[in-house]
Amino acid sequence: MSGTLSEEVRRRRTFAIISHPDAGKTTLTEKLLLYGGAIHLAGSVKARRAARHATSDWMQMEQERGISVTSSVLQFEYLGKSINLLDTPGHQDFSEDTYRTLMAADSAVMLLDNRKGVEEQTRKLFEVCRLRKTPVFTFVNKCDRPGAPVLQLIDDVERELGMKCYPMMWPILDGDRFLGVYDRVDERVYLFERGEDHGSSRVETHEGALTDDHILAAIPERAISQLLEDLELLEMAGAEFSEEAFLAGEVSPVFFGSALTNFGLEPFLRRFLQLAPAPGPRQADTRMVEPEETSFTGFVFKIQANMDPKHRDRIAFVRVCSGRFEAGMQVKHIRSGKPIRLASPTQFMARERTLIEEAWPGDVIGIHDRGNLRIGDTLSADGDLEFGGIPRFSPEHFARIVIGDPMKRKQLDTGLQQLSEEGAAQVFYAESLTGPAPIVGAVGKLQFDVLLHRLEHEYNVRARLEHMSYTGARWVDGPIREIERLAHGHGRMLVYDAKQKPLVLFDSEWTMRTTVDREKDLVFYDVAP
Ligand code: GDP
C-alpha cells in the first residue's frame, strides 16, 4: 500500500556507499539487506563476490544474466522507511558510472577499513560528494579486529579530506575484542553478543546507561576507564554536531562497527534514518523542482548496455525527482522534445529484477531504451523544464584506438560518437576530428573492454587499443596561445573533446599538480566545464 506523495517522499532515503575496494562494501550491503529483511540469510552477495574475482570473463557474465552486475539499485524497508541503496561499482568495474551514480544519491556512507582509513578510491568518490555538497556519514568498519588508533583515524579523515568529523558513536574495545558502542547523543551503551553463526543473522544487543549495573558488569574495568578517558577527550575537543553543517556536507558523523559480525549496524542504521535527508528539491534550468510536486520529473544518470548482441536494448536508469511515477506513463523527453511511453520499468530488489507499477521521488527506475536516451536527459510529464546535466569526469586511462581496416573509419567515428554520447567512454582528438587515430579516455579500464566489444558487435568495427602512458587530464580554459605552449612541455599533451573543448593530458599526478600550480593564467577543471 502506498501513501500520499508527501508521505512517500518523507519516508525515502536514497544513498550510496563510497569506499575503496576491500573495505567491506559488499559485506555491508548484504547486511543492510539482512536487516532490511530483503534476504533472510546473509550470503547471497557472496556469489557475486566470487564472480567478481573471476571476472576475466566479464562479458560472459553480462551475456548470461542479460544485465550487468554493476547495475543494481537495491530497495528495502527498515523501520518504516523505504531505502534505496545505489550500488557504486568498484574493483575492476570502477568506471565513470561510479561517479555518476553519486549524482543520484541524497547522501553517502563513506566506509573505511579501520586499518587503512582514507584510501585512493575513497578520496576520488568523496570529491564527487563534495562537488554536490552531499551529506556524508562515516562508518569505520572491521572493528572486530584491531585497527589504527581511533583518534588517528578521525584525524586522517579530517586532514585527507578537509572535512570535519563528529564521532557520534565511540567504540568500546577490550584488547582485540569489540564489545559495543557508546552513543554520544542519547548517552547509551549498546553491547553486542558474539553469535555462533558468523554474522549470518542479526546480532543480539543489550543496551543501557553507562551507570547501569548490567552494563558495567559486562565491560572489563580497563575498557570502561579507557572509554571514559576517550569521551572526556572528545568533550574537551568541544566539537558540536550541527545538523545543518552535516546537510551541507561540512561535517560527517562517525560510526564504528563490523559488517562481518553485524556489530554496530543497528545503532548506525537508526541514526542514519534520522539524519539522512529525504529527497529534496532539485535545481532545473528555470526553477527549483520540489519532490512533492504532483507532476513527474526525473533524469537519466546511467545507461547500461545489454552486452548480448541479440538484445540491443539498453537500460536507462532514471532517478525520480518529483511526482508519482506510474507504469505506462507518457512523458516528454526534453532534449528531443518527443513524447515517450515508459512502458515496463524495472526496479531492483536484491539481485532480482521486478517490474514495477509505481515509483516515488528518490526511487530509481530502469527504462528499456533503444538508444534515444542519454546520460543527463530529463523526462518530464508536463515538459518544459530541464535538470542540469551530469558532468563528465576527467578520465584516468587513455588509449589510441586503432583499426586494421581504414575503410571502417566512418563506422568507427559513428560508433565512437554514439557511444561517447551515451557515456560509455570519452573521445578525444589530437588535431581535427578527421585526424589520426582518436584517443579514448575512461575512468576505469573496464570501460575500454566494453567499448571494444560494443564497437565490434554494434558497429561492426574491429579495433584495438594502444595504451598511452597518461594518467590524468584537466579541461583547460585561457588564452589559446598559452594552452598550446603548455602542450609542448614534457609529459603533457593537448587534445580536444567532441565539443572542441581543450584538455591537457598529464603523465603523472606530479606533472599535473605542478603544472596546475604554476600556470596562473589558465583555469583547470576536473569535470568538464
Ligand atoms: P568490498 O571490496 O568493499 O566489497 O569488500 P568485501 O565486502 O568483499 O570485503 C573484503 C574482505 O574484508 C572480505 O574478506 C570480508 O570478509 C572482509 N570484511 C568485510 N567486513 C569485515 C569486517 O567487518 N570485519 C572483518 N574482520 N573483515 C571484514
Residue 91 among known ligand-binding residues: yes
pLDDT digits (tens, 9 = 90+) for 163-190: 999 999 999 988 778 899 999 999 999 9
Tell me the angle at which helices 446-459 and 409-422 cross, rounded to the nearest 10 degrees.
130
Nearest CA to ligand 1 atom 15: 24
Q: How confident is the model at residue 274 (pLDDT cuts 50, 70, 90)?
A: very high
Is residue 242 within 8 Å of residue 187, measured between CB atoms?
no
502 is in an annotated binding site: no
88 among the known binding-site residues?
Answer: yes
Instruction: Give domain limits for the chain.
Output: 17-68+107-275, 282-380, 397-525
Residue with the smallest CA separation from ligand 1 atom 27 is 142
Res. 344: pLDDT tops 70: no
User: What is residue 310's predicted lDDT score, i.e. its pLDDT?
Assistant: 60
The protein residue whose alpha carbon is closest to atom 6 in ligand 1 is 24
Cα 176 from Cα 108, distance rounded (Å) = 29
Query: What's the 499 CA to ligand 1 centre distance in angstroms?
Result: 42
CA distance 207 to 68: 42
Q: How far is the CA of 23 from the centre of ligand 1 (A)?
A: 6
Does 34 score more than 60 pLDDT? Answer: yes
Is 26 annotated to bind a ligand? Reply is yes
Q: How far is the CA of 159 from the centre of ligand 1 (A)?
A: 25
pLDDT at 264 over 70: yes
pLDDT score, position 353: 53
Q: What is the pLDDT of residue 306?
A: 63
The residue whose CA has the least distance to atom 14 of ligand 1 is 22
Q: Which atom of ligand 1 sits closest to the CA of residue 20?
A: 3
398 Cβ neighbours under 8 A, 6+ residues apart: 428, 439, 440, 441, 467, 468, 470, 473, 505
* Nearest-CA residue for atom 2 of ligand 1: 22
**Would the annotation count 89 as a binding residue?**
yes
Give 284's DSSP letter: B
Grid cell of 478 as nine digits: 585561457
Domains 17-68+107-275 and 282-380 share a fold: yes
pLDDT confidence band for 469 (50 / 70 / 90)? very high
Among 91-95, 122-126, 495-499, whose mean pLDDT is lowest?
91-95
| Residue ranges lining ligand 1, Cβ < 6 Å | 19, 21-27, 49, 90, 141-142, 144-145, 258-260
141 CA to middle of ligand 1, Å? 8
Q: What is the pLDDT of residue 231?
A: 94
Span 282-380 CATH architecture: 3-Layer(aba) Sandwich (3.40)
The fold adopted by the segment(s) 17-68+107-275 is Rossmann fold (3.40.50)
Q: Which atom of ligand 1 is least distant from the CA of 27? A: 7
Percentage of the residues of the chain whose pLDDT score is greater than 70: 86
Q: State the closest ligand 1 atom to the C-alpha of 258, by its place in the atom list counted from 1.
A: 23
pLDDT of residue 31: 87
pLDDT value, residue 350: 41
Give the distance (Å) from ligand 1 centre to CA of residue 66.
28
For 105-158, write each residue's pLDDT tens digit. Answer: 999 999 999 999 999 999 999 999 999 999 999 999 999 999 999 999 999 999
Would the pLDDT of 1 be above 50? Answer: no
Give residue 472 CA to ligand 1 midpoint distance, Å: 30
CA of 89 to the centre of ligand 1 (A): 16
Burial of 528 per CB tally in 10 Å (0-12, 13-18, 19+): middle
| pLDDT score, position 199 | 67
Measured between alpha carbons, how far is 326 from 360 in angstroms, rounded to an integer? 9
29 Cα–ligand 1 center, Å: 11
Instruction: Report the nearest-CA residue for atom 16 of ligand 1.
Output: 260
Of residues 2 and 242, more confidence is placed in: 242
pLDDT at residue 378, as a whole number: 97
* 141 carries a ligand binding annotation: yes
Supply the pLDDT for residue 398: 96
Residue 42 is assigned to a ligand binding site: no
pLDDT of residue 445: 86
Cα(200) to ligand 1 centroid in Å equals 14
Q: Has residue 19 got a pLDDT over 70? A: yes
The helix/strand/coil state of 110 is strand
For residue 43, the model assigns a pLDDT of 38
Q: Whose CA is nearest to atom 22 of ligand 1?
A: 142
Atom nearest to 19 CA in ligand 1? 3
223 C-alpha to ligand 1 centroid (Å): 26
Lowest mean pLDDT among 10-24, 31-45, 55-69: 55-69
pLDDT at residue 56, as a whole number: 32
| Superfamily the domain 397-525 falls into | Peptide chain release factor 3, domain III (3.30.70.3280)
Residue of the CA atom closest to atom 18 of ligand 1: 24
The DSSP code sequence of 290-306 is -TT-SS-EEEEEEEEE-
352 or 181, which is more confident? 181
* pLDDT bucket at 349, cuts 50 / 70 / 90: very low
Confidence of residue 271 (pLDDT cuts 50, 70, 90): very high
Running DSSP on this structure, what letter comes out for residue 357? S
Mean pLDDT rounded to a whole number for the chain:
86
Distance CA(347)–CA(350), nearest Å, equals 10
205 is in an annotated binding site: no
Q: Hey, whose CA ends up nearest to atom 11 of ligand 1? A: 22
The answer to whether the beta carbons of residues 312 and 114 sit under 8 Å apart is no
On the question of pLDDT at 458 being above 90, the answer is no
68 labelled binding-site residue:
no
Distance between Cα 216 and ligand 1 center (Å): 31
Residue 13 has pLDDT above 90, yes or no: yes
Look at 194 and 382; give whichever has higher pLDDT. 382
pLDDT surpassing 80 at residue 29: yes
Structure confidence by residue, pLDDT tens digits, 295-310: 999 999 988 776 555 6
Q: How confident is the model at residue 61 (pLDDT cuts 50, 70, 90)?
A: very low
> 294 labelled as ligand-binding?
no
To the question of whether residue 22 is assigned a binding role by annotation, the answer is yes
Give the pLDDT band (50/70/90) at residue 354.
low
Burial of residue 329 (CB within 10 Å: 0-12, 13-18, 19+) is: middle
Residue to mutate (ligand 1; options 25, 27, 45; most atoms within 8 A of CB)? 27
For residue 372, pLDDT over 80 is answered with: yes
Per-residue pLDDT at 347 = 55
